[in-house]
Amino acid sequence: MLKSFQQLFISKCLLLLTALFLQGCSNNPLLVDVSNVKINEVKFLRFEQDLFAINKGDFEKNKVAMLNKYGDFFTGFVAQLIHPEGINDSLFEQKITEFVTDINMNELYNVSKLQYAEMSTYENKLTDAMKYYKYYFPNAAVPRFVTMVSGLNYNVAPADSTIGVSIEMYLGSKNKFYDMAEIPIYLRQKMNSYNLISDLIKGMAMDKFPNNNAQSTLLTEMVYNGKILYFIDAITPQENDTCKIAYTAKEWTWAERHEADVWGFMLKNKLLFTTSNNDIAKYINDAPFTSGMVKESPGRIGCWIGWRIVKKYMQLHPEIKLEQLMNDADAQKILNQSNYKP
Protein backbone atom coordinates (compact mmCIF):
# COMPACT_ATOMS: atom_id res chain seq x y z
CA MET A 1 0.00 0.00 0.00
CA LEU A 2 2.79 2.39 0.96
CA LYS A 3 4.70 1.47 -2.20
CA SER A 4 1.62 2.21 -4.35
CA PHE A 5 1.18 5.57 -2.64
CA GLN A 6 4.85 6.44 -3.26
CA GLN A 7 4.53 5.48 -6.94
CA LEU A 8 1.37 7.60 -7.28
CA PHE A 9 3.08 10.52 -5.54
CA ILE A 10 6.13 10.26 -7.80
CA SER A 11 3.92 10.04 -10.91
CA LYS A 12 2.01 13.17 -9.89
CA CYS A 13 5.25 15.01 -9.18
CA LEU A 14 6.60 14.08 -12.61
CA LEU A 15 3.39 15.30 -14.25
CA LEU A 16 3.61 18.55 -12.29
CA LEU A 17 7.27 19.05 -13.23
CA THR A 18 6.45 18.33 -16.89
CA ALA A 19 3.61 20.85 -16.81
CA LEU A 20 5.84 23.46 -15.20
CA PHE A 21 8.56 22.82 -17.77
CA LEU A 22 6.12 23.21 -20.67
CA GLN A 23 4.68 26.32 -19.08
CA GLY A 24 8.20 27.78 -18.75
CA CYS A 25 8.91 27.02 -22.40
CA SER A 26 5.65 28.59 -23.52
CA ASN A 27 6.59 31.81 -21.76
CA ASN A 28 8.96 32.50 -24.64
CA PRO A 29 6.84 32.89 -27.80
CA LEU A 30 10.00 32.73 -29.91
CA LEU A 31 10.66 29.10 -28.98
CA VAL A 32 8.68 27.91 -31.98
CA ASP A 33 8.73 24.35 -33.28
CA VAL A 34 11.31 24.08 -36.07
CA SER A 35 11.58 20.30 -36.06
CA ASN A 36 10.07 20.08 -39.55
CA VAL A 37 12.35 22.73 -41.05
CA LYS A 38 14.86 20.99 -43.30
CA ILE A 39 18.19 22.64 -44.14
CA ASN A 40 21.69 21.45 -44.91
CA GLU A 41 24.04 21.40 -41.95
CA VAL A 42 26.05 24.60 -41.70
CA LYS A 43 29.77 24.14 -42.35
CA PHE A 44 32.29 26.97 -42.13
CA LEU A 45 34.58 27.57 -45.07
CA ARG A 46 38.05 28.36 -43.72
CA PHE A 47 38.93 31.45 -45.74
CA GLU A 48 41.91 32.34 -43.53
CA GLN A 49 43.55 28.97 -44.16
CA ASP A 50 43.24 29.35 -47.92
CA LEU A 51 44.41 32.97 -47.77
CA PHE A 52 47.53 32.25 -45.74
CA ALA A 53 48.46 29.47 -48.18
CA ILE A 54 47.99 31.56 -51.34
CA ASN A 55 51.72 32.23 -51.75
CA LYS A 56 52.62 28.53 -51.51
CA GLY A 57 52.99 26.83 -54.87
CA ASP A 58 51.48 28.29 -58.04
CA PHE A 59 50.30 31.77 -57.00
CA GLU A 60 48.09 32.43 -60.05
CA LYS A 61 46.44 29.05 -59.74
CA ASN A 62 45.79 29.66 -56.02
CA LYS A 63 44.37 33.12 -56.75
CA VAL A 64 41.94 31.76 -59.33
CA ALA A 65 40.93 28.97 -56.94
CA MET A 66 40.14 31.51 -54.21
CA LEU A 67 38.19 33.67 -56.63
CA ASN A 68 36.13 30.67 -57.75
CA LYS A 69 35.54 29.54 -54.18
CA TYR A 70 34.84 32.86 -52.45
CA GLY A 71 33.87 35.27 -55.23
CA ASP A 72 33.16 38.84 -54.16
CA PHE A 73 34.06 37.99 -50.58
CA PHE A 74 37.66 37.42 -51.67
CA THR A 75 37.88 40.55 -53.83
CA GLY A 76 36.20 42.66 -51.14
CA PHE A 77 38.55 41.40 -48.43
CA VAL A 78 41.56 42.21 -50.60
CA ALA A 79 40.30 45.70 -51.51
CA GLN A 80 39.45 46.61 -47.93
CA LEU A 81 42.45 45.18 -46.10
CA ILE A 82 45.32 44.30 -48.43
CA HIS A 83 45.45 46.15 -51.74
CA PRO A 84 42.77 48.71 -52.76
CA GLU A 85 43.71 48.37 -56.42
CA GLY A 86 42.46 44.79 -56.38
CA ILE A 87 43.51 41.29 -57.36
CA ASN A 88 44.35 42.08 -60.98
CA ASP A 89 46.83 44.86 -60.20
CA SER A 90 50.50 44.18 -60.92
CA LEU A 91 51.43 44.70 -57.26
CA PHE A 92 48.79 42.34 -55.88
CA GLU A 93 51.08 39.33 -55.44
CA GLN A 94 53.64 41.45 -53.59
CA LYS A 95 51.03 43.05 -51.31
CA ILE A 96 49.26 39.84 -50.37
CA THR A 97 52.57 38.09 -49.75
CA GLU A 98 53.55 40.89 -47.37
CA PHE A 99 50.21 40.47 -45.60
CA VAL A 100 50.38 36.71 -45.08
CA THR A 101 54.08 36.70 -44.11
CA ASP A 102 53.87 39.61 -41.67
CA ILE A 103 55.21 38.45 -38.27
CA ASN A 104 52.33 39.86 -36.22
CA MET A 105 49.66 38.67 -38.66
CA ASN A 106 51.16 35.20 -38.65
CA GLU A 107 51.21 35.02 -34.88
CA LEU A 108 47.59 36.20 -34.76
CA TYR A 109 46.65 33.67 -37.43
CA ASN A 110 48.41 30.78 -35.67
CA VAL A 111 46.83 31.54 -32.29
CA SER A 112 43.40 31.83 -33.92
CA LYS A 113 43.91 28.63 -35.88
CA LEU A 114 44.81 26.79 -32.69
CA GLN A 115 41.84 28.07 -30.68
CA TYR A 116 39.38 27.54 -33.53
CA ALA A 117 40.82 24.37 -35.02
CA GLU A 118 37.46 22.69 -34.53
CA MET A 119 34.22 24.53 -35.37
CA SER A 120 31.55 21.85 -34.86
CA THR A 121 30.08 23.52 -31.74
CA TYR A 122 29.52 26.74 -33.66
CA GLU A 123 28.33 24.89 -36.77
CA ASN A 124 25.71 23.06 -34.71
CA LYS A 125 24.49 26.31 -33.17
CA LEU A 126 24.34 27.98 -36.57
CA THR A 127 22.48 25.03 -38.05
CA ASP A 128 19.84 25.41 -35.32
CA ALA A 129 19.76 29.18 -35.90
CA MET A 130 19.25 28.74 -39.65
CA LYS A 131 16.26 26.50 -38.98
CA TYR A 132 14.64 29.42 -37.16
CA TYR A 133 15.74 31.71 -39.99
CA LYS A 134 14.05 29.50 -42.60
CA TYR A 135 10.97 29.26 -40.39
CA TYR A 136 10.57 33.05 -40.49
CA PHE A 137 11.94 33.54 -44.02
CA PRO A 138 11.04 30.36 -45.92
CA ASN A 139 11.93 31.82 -49.32
CA ALA A 140 15.31 33.21 -48.26
CA ALA A 141 18.56 31.45 -49.05
CA VAL A 142 20.79 30.46 -46.15
CA PRO A 143 24.08 32.36 -46.53
CA ARG A 144 27.50 30.74 -46.58
CA PHE A 145 29.53 31.21 -43.43
CA VAL A 146 33.28 31.63 -43.52
CA THR A 147 35.97 32.21 -40.93
CA MET A 148 38.70 34.76 -41.53
CA VAL A 149 41.52 36.67 -39.84
CA SER A 150 41.28 40.37 -40.58
CA GLY A 151 44.00 41.72 -38.31
CA LEU A 152 41.54 42.94 -35.66
CA ASN A 153 39.74 45.09 -38.24
CA TYR A 154 36.30 43.46 -38.46
CA ASN A 155 34.05 41.31 -36.32
CA VAL A 156 31.68 40.30 -39.08
CA ALA A 157 31.78 41.07 -42.81
CA PRO A 158 28.95 40.21 -45.23
CA ALA A 159 29.54 40.02 -48.99
CA ASP A 160 28.20 38.03 -51.95
CA SER A 161 25.68 35.96 -49.93
CA THR A 162 28.52 35.14 -47.56
CA ILE A 163 28.93 36.12 -43.92
CA GLY A 164 32.50 36.19 -42.65
CA VAL A 165 33.51 36.19 -39.01
CA SER A 166 36.99 37.19 -37.81
CA ILE A 167 37.91 34.46 -35.36
CA GLU A 168 40.79 36.52 -33.92
CA MET A 169 38.13 38.87 -32.52
CA TYR A 170 36.93 36.12 -30.15
CA LEU A 171 40.08 34.92 -28.40
CA GLY A 172 38.89 35.91 -24.93
CA SER A 173 38.78 39.32 -23.27
CA LYS A 174 42.18 38.84 -21.57
CA ASN A 175 44.10 37.82 -24.68
CA LYS A 176 47.54 39.43 -25.00
CA PHE A 177 46.86 40.64 -28.55
CA TYR A 178 44.13 42.89 -27.22
CA ASP A 179 46.62 44.35 -24.74
CA MET A 180 49.10 44.95 -27.54
CA ALA A 181 46.41 46.60 -29.67
CA GLU A 182 45.30 48.69 -26.66
CA ILE A 183 41.66 47.70 -27.11
CA PRO A 184 39.58 49.25 -24.28
CA ILE A 185 38.25 46.94 -21.58
CA TYR A 186 34.61 47.75 -22.36
CA LEU A 187 35.10 46.52 -25.93
CA ARG A 188 36.99 43.39 -24.90
CA GLN A 189 34.00 42.07 -22.98
CA LYS A 190 32.45 41.37 -26.42
CA MET A 191 35.51 39.45 -27.63
CA ASN A 192 34.83 36.03 -26.14
CA SER A 193 33.95 32.81 -27.92
CA TYR A 194 30.40 32.94 -26.57
CA ASN A 195 29.81 36.24 -28.41
CA LEU A 196 30.61 34.79 -31.84
CA ILE A 197 27.19 33.38 -32.80
CA SER A 198 25.21 36.45 -31.73
CA ASP A 199 27.61 38.70 -33.65
CA LEU A 200 27.20 36.56 -36.78
CA ILE A 201 23.42 36.78 -36.59
CA LYS A 202 23.63 40.51 -35.91
CA GLY A 203 25.77 40.99 -39.02
CA MET A 204 23.32 38.92 -41.01
CA ALA A 205 20.39 41.03 -39.76
CA MET A 206 22.08 44.35 -40.49
CA ASP A 207 23.01 43.18 -43.98
CA LYS A 208 19.48 41.96 -44.77
CA PHE A 209 17.75 44.94 -43.13
CA PRO A 210 20.05 47.99 -43.36
CA ASN A 211 19.30 51.19 -41.47
CA ASN A 212 17.73 53.42 -44.11
CA ASN A 213 16.34 56.12 -41.84
CA ALA A 214 16.46 59.34 -43.86
CA GLN A 215 16.40 61.51 -40.72
CA SER A 216 17.81 59.78 -37.67
CA THR A 217 16.50 60.60 -34.23
CA LEU A 218 17.33 58.86 -31.01
CA LEU A 219 13.97 57.07 -31.21
CA THR A 220 14.53 55.78 -34.76
CA GLU A 221 18.00 54.51 -33.80
CA MET A 222 16.70 52.90 -30.62
CA VAL A 223 13.91 51.10 -32.45
CA TYR A 224 16.16 50.04 -35.35
CA ASN A 225 18.70 48.54 -32.96
CA GLY A 226 15.85 47.06 -30.94
CA LYS A 227 14.61 45.31 -34.08
CA ILE A 228 18.09 43.95 -34.78
CA LEU A 229 18.25 42.56 -31.23
CA TYR A 230 14.77 41.10 -31.61
CA PHE A 231 15.92 39.43 -34.84
CA ILE A 232 18.82 37.85 -32.93
CA ASP A 233 16.30 36.87 -30.27
CA ALA A 234 14.05 35.15 -32.81
CA ILE A 235 16.84 33.34 -34.66
CA THR A 236 18.67 32.21 -31.50
CA PRO A 237 15.92 32.02 -28.85
CA GLN A 238 17.91 29.65 -26.65
CA GLU A 239 20.97 31.89 -26.55
CA ASN A 240 21.57 33.85 -23.35
CA ASP A 241 20.12 37.38 -23.56
CA THR A 242 23.33 38.89 -22.21
CA CYS A 243 25.22 37.41 -25.18
CA LYS A 244 22.75 38.89 -27.66
CA ILE A 245 23.53 42.43 -26.53
CA ALA A 246 27.01 41.68 -25.19
CA TYR A 247 26.30 42.83 -21.63
CA THR A 248 27.83 41.38 -18.52
CA ALA A 249 25.41 39.91 -15.98
CA LYS A 250 26.05 42.97 -13.80
CA GLU A 251 25.22 45.36 -16.65
CA TRP A 252 22.06 43.44 -17.48
CA THR A 253 20.91 43.58 -13.87
CA TRP A 254 21.56 47.33 -13.71
CA ALA A 255 19.54 47.87 -16.91
CA GLU A 256 16.59 45.86 -15.58
CA ARG A 257 16.58 47.61 -12.22
CA HIS A 258 16.82 51.10 -13.71
CA GLU A 259 14.71 50.67 -16.84
CA ALA A 260 11.98 53.01 -15.63
CA ASP A 261 14.56 55.58 -14.48
CA VAL A 262 16.34 55.56 -17.85
CA TRP A 263 13.07 55.92 -19.75
CA GLY A 264 11.94 58.69 -17.45
CA PHE A 265 15.26 60.48 -17.95
CA MET A 266 14.85 60.32 -21.72
CA LEU A 267 11.30 61.67 -21.58
CA LYS A 268 12.11 64.41 -19.07
CA ASN A 269 15.01 65.65 -21.18
CA LYS A 270 13.04 65.34 -24.45
CA LEU A 271 15.73 63.14 -25.98
CA LEU A 272 13.61 60.83 -28.16
CA PHE A 273 13.37 63.24 -31.05
CA THR A 274 16.84 64.75 -30.89
CA THR A 275 18.69 64.70 -34.21
CA SER A 276 22.03 65.56 -32.61
CA ASN A 277 24.59 62.94 -33.60
CA ASN A 278 26.42 63.49 -30.31
CA ASP A 279 23.28 62.89 -28.27
CA ILE A 280 22.34 59.82 -30.29
CA ALA A 281 25.85 58.37 -29.96
CA LYS A 282 25.69 58.65 -26.15
CA TYR A 283 22.86 56.13 -26.01
CA ILE A 284 23.55 53.94 -29.06
CA ASN A 285 27.30 53.55 -29.45
CA ASP A 286 29.72 51.38 -27.49
CA ALA A 287 30.97 53.07 -24.34
CA PRO A 288 32.20 52.06 -20.87
CA PHE A 289 28.99 53.57 -19.46
CA THR A 290 26.16 55.81 -20.64
CA SER A 291 27.18 59.46 -20.61
CA GLY A 292 25.14 61.47 -18.14
CA MET A 293 24.40 58.43 -16.00
CA VAL A 294 26.27 56.67 -13.21
CA LYS A 295 29.40 54.70 -14.10
CA GLU A 296 27.62 51.44 -13.23
CA SER A 297 25.31 51.95 -16.21
CA PRO A 298 26.15 49.99 -19.38
CA GLY A 299 26.84 51.60 -22.73
CA ARG A 300 24.31 51.28 -25.54
CA ILE A 301 21.44 51.66 -23.08
CA GLY A 302 19.34 53.12 -25.90
CA CYS A 303 19.68 49.83 -27.81
CA TRP A 304 18.56 47.91 -24.74
CA ILE A 305 15.51 50.16 -24.25
CA GLY A 306 14.74 49.85 -27.97
CA TRP A 307 14.80 46.07 -27.61
CA ARG A 308 12.34 46.28 -24.74
CA ILE A 309 10.02 48.49 -26.79
CA VAL A 310 10.09 46.09 -29.75
CA LYS A 311 9.54 43.04 -27.53
CA LYS A 312 6.52 44.70 -25.92
CA TYR A 313 5.19 45.66 -29.36
CA MET A 314 5.49 42.10 -30.62
CA GLN A 315 3.91 40.68 -27.46
CA LEU A 316 0.86 42.89 -28.00
CA HIS A 317 0.74 42.19 -31.75
CA PRO A 318 1.39 38.46 -32.31
CA GLU A 319 -0.15 38.77 -35.77
CA ILE A 320 2.90 40.78 -36.93
CA LYS A 321 5.42 38.58 -38.72
CA LEU A 322 9.14 39.01 -38.16
CA GLU A 323 9.69 40.16 -41.75
CA GLN A 324 6.94 42.76 -41.37
CA LEU A 325 8.57 44.07 -38.22
CA MET A 326 12.01 44.29 -39.77
CA ASN A 327 10.67 46.19 -42.80
CA ASP A 328 8.60 48.62 -40.73
CA ALA A 329 10.52 51.90 -40.44
CA ASP A 330 7.80 53.69 -38.45
CA ALA A 331 9.49 53.93 -35.06
CA GLN A 332 6.82 56.22 -33.65
CA LYS A 333 4.06 53.75 -34.51
CA ILE A 334 5.99 50.88 -32.92
CA LEU A 335 6.50 52.92 -29.75
CA ASN A 336 2.86 54.04 -29.60
CA GLN A 337 1.45 50.57 -30.21
CA SER A 338 3.87 48.92 -27.79
CA ASN A 339 2.24 50.66 -24.83
CA TYR A 340 5.74 50.74 -23.37
CA LYS A 341 5.55 52.08 -19.83
CA PRO A 342 8.24 50.52 -17.63
User: CB-based contacts of 19: which residues, under 8 Å, 6+ apart?
Assistant: none
Long-range CB contact pairs, 248-257, < 8 A, 24+ = 248/189, 248/298, 250/296, 251/298, 252/298, 254/296, 254/297, 254/298, 255/297, 255/298, 255/301, 255/304
First-to-last CA distance in the chain? 54
pLDDT per residue over 293-307, tens digit each? 999 999 999 999 999
- Indicate if the alpha-carbon torsion angle 53, 54, 57, 62 is positive or negative: positive
| Interval 255-303: pLDDT, tens | 999 999 999 999 999 999 999 999 999 999 999 999 889 999 999 999 9
Contact 312, 338 (CB under 8 A): yes
Q: What is the pLDDT of residue 31?
A: 92
User: Based on the domain organization, do 229 and 251 belong to the same domain?
Assistant: yes
pTM of the model: 0.90
**152 and 259 inside one domain:** no
Same domain, 120 and 254: no
Among 176, 208, 240, give the residue marking a domain's end: 208
Provide, rounded to the nearest whole percent, the portion of the chain with pLDDT above 70: 92
Q: What's the confidence (pLDDT) of residue 6?
A: 40
E strand or H helix at 158: strand 156-159
Parts of the chain with a pLDDT under 50: 1-26
In a domain, residue 326? The reply is yes
Number of domains in the chain: 2
Domain that holds residue 285: 218-338
Q: Which of 230, 198, 244, 239 is nearest to 323 (CA)?
A: 230
Domain ends where: 160, 180, 208?
208
Give the Cα separation of 303 and 283 in Å (integer): 7
- Residue 218 DSSP SS3: helix
Each residue of 132-144: pLDDT tens digit? 999 999 999 999 9
Co-location of 246 and 133 in the same domain? no
pLDDT at 8: 36
Task: Sheet containing 144-148: give its strands across.
Answer: 45-46, 144-148, 162-166, 156-159
Which pLDDT tens digit goes with each residue over 64-77? 999 999 999 999 99
Within a 10 A sphere around the Cβ of 180, how many other Cβ atoms? Answer: 12
Residues 191 and 238 in one domain: no
Using the 3D structure, point to which of 158, 189, 208 is the last residue of a domain.
Answer: 208
